[in-house]
Chain A
Amino acid sequence: QVQLVESGGGVVQPGRSLRLSCAASGFTLSSYAMHWVRQAPGKGLEWVAVISYDGSNKYYVDSVKGRLTISRDNSKNKLYVQMNSLRTEDTAVYYCARGTSTWVQSPFDYWGQGTLVTVFS
């Protein structure tokens, strides 16, 4: 069955970096666009970034442009997000989610359980 398992969250000081990973299983990662979506404590969902099935196209929400980088390694069935210059407002549960197809505009049909990132001084 399809599974997405995030890891790498934790407590980090403002200005520092963190890399989150998402391990995919039960499907062929290279056939799907992949996303990161976050949710601050007690708040709504916020889409963060998408990467096309082959990694050639990447798009980001304005608030993370230049600080977050999404990437993938299809040979390892892994999705990543490198988070630099972290701010307190980046504190959230980060979910990886699978698009329903190779198209970056496809909705998100499977989600991981999320990993919590806390930016705190």
Chain B
Amino acid sequence: QSALTQPRSVSGSPGQSVTISCTGTSSDVGGYNYVSWYQQHPGKAPKLMISDVNKRPSGVPDRFSGSKSGNTASLTISGLQAEDEADYYCCSYTDTYTFVFGTGTKVTVL
């Protein structure tokens, strides 16, 4: 199972919006609405930010949103803040009852 494809890095100024793409196949991202997104700060455990393509867990700011079109999912961070600087990973359930993570994207707040 190959990792989902994410851009290596994205950046934006405070207050701007950034979007991270996550491209898979019809066997994972395109086949199920079980795409989730995780934020990871250096040396810390990952944190669930979005589940089931576009659901925000309690406590996650509403500036984080998710969507999907075909085999590509996206995470958008609106109104970028300094604390949003971190690594972000998408993850999808697959047709072999397993999960696959994306390659990871480093978000830099300029």
Contacts of A57 in B (CB 8 A): 97
- Mark each residue of chain A from 56 to 79: 1 if its CB lies under 8 Å from any CB of chain B, else 0: 010111100000000000000000
- Tell me how many residues of A have a C-beta within 8 Å of chain B: 24
- Mark each residue of chain B from 87 to 110: 1 if its CB lies under 8 Å from any CB of chain A, else 0: 001010100111111111000000
- Number of A-B residue pairs, CB cutoff 8 Å, is 63
Contacts of B36 in A (CB 8 A): 107-108
How far is A9 from B4 in the complex, measured between Cα atoms in Å? 28
Q: Is the CB of A47 within 8 A of B101?
A: yes
How far is A59 from B98 in the complex, measured between Cα atoms in Å? 6
Q: Is the CB of B89 within 8 A of A44?
A: yes
B1-57 at interface with A (beta carbon < 8 Å): 1, 3, 32, 34, 36, 38, 40, 45-48, 51-52, 57
Contacts of B102 in A (CB 8 A): 44
Q: Is the CB of B57 within 8 A of A105?
A: no
Q: Is the CB of A105 within 8 A of B34?
A: yes
How far is A121 from B99 in the complex, measured between Cα atoms in Å? 31
Contacts of A114 in B (CB 8 A): 45
